[in-house]
Chain A
Amino acid sequence: MLVELKVNGEPRSADVPPETTLLKMLREYLNLTGAKLGCDVGDCGTCTVIVDGVSVNSCLMLAARANGHEVTTIEGLANSNELHPLQEKFEEHGALQCGFCGPGMLISAKNLLDKNPDPTVFEVRDALAGNLCRCTGYTKIIEAVIDAGRVMNAEQANS
């Protein structure tokens, strides 16, 4: 079946079998391998993408359900000139070790900051509750998100 959707602002489409998940479509049909397959049952969050402003586990969403919707993946965060403040701050704070949870963490964090640019530690923890990390622990990740929020606020104030 033909699935047409917008990925990181660009119209994309693929002809996929009906059982194809959004994650599989992104990774295998659109060659966007940033979102990862960790558990395939919606527990680990490493497959997180944003669909119409809501962060979802793309391993649990059928590609057909995303038809006509707008999807943001990790590949849509940076542009040719600069990193997203979250990517910059995750790197600076050493918030990624093996990196496998990173794309999902960053996407969940982006969705939080887009809606709430000045979150409390509790709000960050709540927003990242669906993303598991097994290496660094969560302290540096939370620090990086709060720091990135500060940068984004300052940028907005200046513009």
Chain B
Amino acid sequence: MATRTKDIQKKAEELITTEKSKAPAQQPLAVPADNPVAYPLELPQGEARLRTPAVGQRARRPDGRLHGLGQTQYIDDITFPHMLHAKILRSEYPHARIVSIDTSEAEKMPGVMATLTGAEIPENSFGPTYQDQPVLAYPIARHCGDGVAAVAATSEQLAADALEKIKVEYEPLPAVFDPLEALEEDSPKVHGGDTNIYTSKTIKKGDVEKALKESDHVFHRQFRTQMVEHVPLEPHASIASWDGNGRVTLWTSLGRITLGREDLSRTLRMPQNKIRLIGTVVGGNFGGKNEITTEPILALLSKKSRRPVKSVFTRGDEFISSTIRHPFVMDYTTGVSNEGKILARKIRLVLDGGAYCSWTGTTIGKGSILAPGPYDIDNVLVEAFAVYTNKTTTGAMRGFGAPQVCFAYESQMDDIAHKLGLDPLEIRLRNGFSENSLSPTSQTLQSVALKESLTQAAERFGWKERRA
């Protein structure tokens, strides 16, 4: 290790000396004679700024030791005196009007200190793109993960028991579960209005229809991907404490605390300077902890009970109530020449958004831009639609739509190679991005090493030998 560090330092020194010798001699700038302050414009740089001996050395995570000792404090490891535990009752129906909620029986139970329903929330809507999601559903529940009432009690078990005493009267409404059905005119509308489409995106480059007509081969196929839950090992967890100064402090597993404070300020109708959010160590996020979930509920339960209130999602809550990855329905039509050159690609993406928007704006944008794949294609048309369905809300997850479209375009590349009798590697080398290629949105791409990477990887793992 020591020799390696020395080598790196030596290289850095060489680099600095050669850079210096390359630099043209500079004429000192003339300083006015009556200038009261004088200093050299070119200051010597500290050596640490010019070299990083850390490169090539093994690093240790600064939090690794506490993790290994079991001493890291996640939310559920924090307790306060007189702290209560909250549980949330979820909708019995995927789509229903809530006629009435009766919490009186639950409130009579010894140890139950507060209950909360959607009607009591000052501003019952939030969301990073559109504010279309209620904190607790009222008067309409749009999927089975929607909370309809919450309870804070002296123990978790008691809070769970109290949920069973809450009486909710529902008027079930027709629901829609398939994104393509949700596109139809006579489908039930999740948020009313005359359409379930809530976001769309179009990318156009060249003339797709003309190029498809001129292509020797046209390939069409529909690809679908499924829902994926992040499954962080640590479930969503928060503690809220409303104090005598009218301020609220939240300890939360939330990843975006600044955005979270904005959402809290909106939902609680309270200035941000009265809200303190403490983001603790997160036991896995992967995009699933990018927006508030129970935080406003806990804040209000704490306000009502005058006690700190904690909530930890069960694994079941985690699956039905936290966000998940968007399922995509992807129609790919690709025109190819006899030589295996892609001439045109026409794509329709339908994103199953679930009940609320969440991070769909980011997902549809990234998914659409990446949909044609890392290939030089002169004629591209991408039309993407996000639709509401009465299912778990889809949101941010690693890649924001990139893995879904990658599955589709790479599968189709294999279809094309198979039909034309080409090596799957060869079809990618013939069409792949190179230096200064234009992306589907006409961005000039630099530092592109796609073909080199593919070739080297194929050599290293013996692609040819394995196919032989």
Contacts and interface: CB of A to CB of B under 8 A. Distances in A.
A135 B284 contact: yes
User: In which size bucket is the chain A interface?
Assistant: 35 or more
Interface residues of B, number: 35
Nearest to B79: A28
Contacts of A33: 70, 73, 76-77
Contacts of B77: 27, 33
Nearest to A88: B68
B74 interface: yes
A17 B111 CA distance: 15
Contacts of B6: none
Interface string B70-90: 111110110100000000000
Tell me the interface secondary structure of chain A in the complex: loop
Contacts of A117: none
B283 interface: yes
Contacts, number: 104
B231 A74 contact: no
B260 interface: no
Interface in A12-55: 17, 19, 27-28, 33-41, 43-44, 46
Interface in B296-323: 312, 314-315
Contacts of A37: 76, 235, 312
Contact of B60 (A28, A75, A94, A98): A94
A95 to B, nearest CB: 8
Most chain A CB within 10 A, of B61, B73, B234, B312, is at: B234
B233 A134 contact: yes
Nearest to B232: A134
Contact of B64 (A39, A75, A96): A96
A103 interface: yes
A98 B65 CA distance: 12
A36 B61 contact: no
Contact of B233 (A19, A86, A87, A133): A133
Contacts of A17: 157
A28 B154 CA distance: 13
Contacts of B285: 98
Given A19-B157, A38-B233, A100 B68 contact: no
A52 to B, nearest CB: 20
Among A43, A94, A99, which residue has the most Cβ atoms of chain B within 10 A? Answer: A99
Contact of B283 (A28, A34, A99): A99
24 contacts: A35-B70, A36-B283, A73-B70, A78-B69, A87-B69, A90-B68, A91-B61, A91-B64, A91-B65, A92-B58, A96-B67, A98-B67, A98-B282, A98-B283, A99-B64, A99-B67, A99-B281, A99-B283, A100-B234, A100-B283, A102-B70, A106-B68, A106-B70, A132-B233
* Leading 3 A-B pairs by shortest Cβ distance: A34-B70, A99-B67, A100-B283
Interface of A: 17, 19, 27-28, 33-41, 43-44, 46, 73-75, 77-78, 83, 86-87, 90-92, 94, 96-103, 106, 132-135
